[in-house]
Amino acid sequence: MSECCLVDFSVVSRHLSVLEKAGVLTATKEGRTVFYSVRYQHLTAAFRSLAKAIETCRPKSVRPKPSRPKVSRPKVSQPKLSRSK
């Protein structure tokens, strides 16, 4: 990953470690290589919980602003120029 993105390996390693500690990734070590996998079920459950929390906290009186009607402008034709010979 660090090769394709032109980022120092230590930076990538640190970010992956943070994501693993947060429960977003799982790590499997094979020799000196660490393989990371996304915990999709955990991640989607966390996003659903977050969406639910946001939904319950929002004010009930907030209404979306009505969209502004589109104003159509009359088409102005350009005068045709002709060349005299």
Within-domain flag for 6: yes
Q: Give a yes or no: residue 69 inside a domain.
A: no
Residue 73 within a domain: no
Has residue 51 been placed in a domain?
yes
Across 6-62, where does the E strand assignment appear?
25-30, 33-38
Is 74 among the domain residues? no
In a domain, 24, yes or no: yes
The per-residue pLDDT for 37 is 95
String of b and e for 41-76 (b: at least 16 CB within 10 Å)? Answer: eeeeeeeeeeeeeeeeeeeeeeeeeeeeeeeeeeee
What pLDDT, on the 0 to 100 scale, is given for residue 10?
87
In a domain, 23, yes or no: yes
The half-sphere exposure of 78 on its side-chain side, counting CA atoms within 13 A, is 3
Looking at residue 6, its pLDDT comes to 76
List the end-to-end C-alpha distance of the chain, in Å, as a whole number.
Answer: 67
The pLDDT of residue 12 is 87
pLDDT recorded at residue 15: 93
Find the domain containing 16 and state its range: 2-57
In the chain, the number of structural domains is 1
pTM: 0.54
User: Consecutive sets of 10 residues in the chain, 85 residues long: mean pLDDT of each?
Assistant: 72 92 93 93 93 86 70 64 54
